[in-house]
Amino acid sequence: MNNSKISTLSKGVLLLVMVLLVSSIFVPMWRIELSAPQYPEGLVLKLHANKIAGDVDIINGLNHYIGMKTLHKEDFVEFTVLPYIFIFFALFALATAIIAKKKTLYVLFISLVLFGVLAAVDFYRWNYEYGHNLDPNAAIQVPGMSYQPPLIGYKQLLNFGAYSIPDIGGWLLIASGFLLFIIVIKESNLLQKFKKPKTATVLLLFLSLSFLSCSNNTKAVPIKLNVDNCDFCKMSIADGKYGAEVLTEKGRTYKFDDIMCMTNYCKENSSTKISSYYVHDFTQDNVLIPASTAHFISGSAIQSPMRGGIIAFSSEKDAKEFGTKLNAKLITWDAILKQ
């Protein structure tokens, strides 16, 4: 048996990779979602391999007011060359399946990874230039403010939330790279080089968990008092003892001046998937703590901003002491969510 040849299974996977690469040309590669109170349904910018689609005209109008360049396909050479690059890699995958040489497979995988890195760098550069090179004569100017969207994930830009993620074509490319990675591991017999049979499995599991933990934002974002507004009642958040915050599974942050504003917002937006709830510790100034571990009291004597009548503590002892002072009763987080 010739050890330099790849298996029949790997050839089949390479043909699938070819199909995925070609298919990615015909669907959106990336999307940037924008949300703001004045656009409750949101705005979407869809980046294809050869064009820009979505709410381009509306976004260009907004860009004009803040001094950003308007978006036009003709300004980006990428939209001309990307389809050819994907076709090249698709033909490369086909040729690799026909030649069936391991070295060719390794070159294909390394080339695709390098292309992915260069594409990410180019996308960051594009975002940076459009977000920082602003027209000094723009109608709306905020000193020191830039409007660079995130490379991936969520970012707050004034009253807009920008969420950047792969679209169908992007996921097809990611799937192509993942499949190539699997057959490279298989053909190189890398897993067999581990002395202990379970070592490879544990390593892959650890890497997967590390990726998931890095891809999701689960850390509370400090509320800027007298700057941030409540996402439910729209009032300015002025007191750092009553506020609250939620993080969505997409990494978006919503801030509130009252714990009950947070729960009411979540009820009205039940389709929003929440990953974490945070509340202000009443004994500290503007310190957020996880709602799941907090201790709460409820009572009519508690003068929270929107008369929610609920405050939180990191310590059960503090909760009981303030409960006695304010003639308030202990209440669980689950009970608050059901109100």
* DSSP conformation letters of 195-253: SSTTHHHHHHHHHHHHHHHHHS--SPPPP-TTTSB-TTT--B---TTT-EEEEETTS-E
Q: Which two tokens stand for residue 337?
A: 């969510």
Q: HSE-up of 147 (CA within 13 Å, CB side)?
A: 22
Going by C-alpha positions, the residue among 257, 259, 258 that lies closest to residue 236 is 257
* C-alpha distances in Å from residue 296, one per residue of 56, 108, 256, 285: 46, 58, 17, 17
Residue with tokens 């090249």, as numbered in its chain:
88
pLDDT in tens, the chain (339 residues): 457 889 999 999 999 999 999 999 999 999 998 888 777 678 999 999 999 999 999 999 888 888 888 889 998 999 999 999 999 999 999 999 999 999 999 999 999 999 999 999 999 999 898 888 888 888 888 777 888 888 888 888 877 888 899 999 999 999 999 999 999 998 888 766 555 555 555 545 544 544 444 444 557 889 999 988 998 998 999 999 999 999 987 778 889 999 999 999 999 888 788 989 999 999 999 999 999 999 999 998 999 999 899 999 999 999 999 999 999 999 999 999 988
Instruction: Report the C-alpha gap between 187 and 181 in whole angstroms.
Output: 10
Kindly report the number of other CB atoms within 10 A of residue 25's CB atom. Answer: 19
CB 170 within 8 A of CB 27: no
* Share of the chain residues as helix, strand and coil, in percent rounded to the nearest 5: 45, 20, 35
Written as six digits, the tokens of 286 are: 């503007």
Indicate if the alpha-carbon torsion angle 180, 182, 187, 188 is positive or negative.
Answer: positive
Q: List the alpha helices (DSSP H) in 100-143.
A: 102-132
Is 172 in contact with 30 (CB distance < 8 Å)? no
CA torsion through residues 101, 103, 106, 111, sign: negative
CB 241 within 8 A of CB 311: yes
The one-letter code for the residue type at 78 is E
C-alpha 269/C-alpha 314 separation (Å) is 27
Give residue 135's pLDDT: 87
The answer to whether 109 and 17 are in contact (CB under 8 A) is no
User: 13: burial class by Cβ within 10 Å (0-12, 13-18, 19+)?
Assistant: buried
- pLDDT for res 199: 52
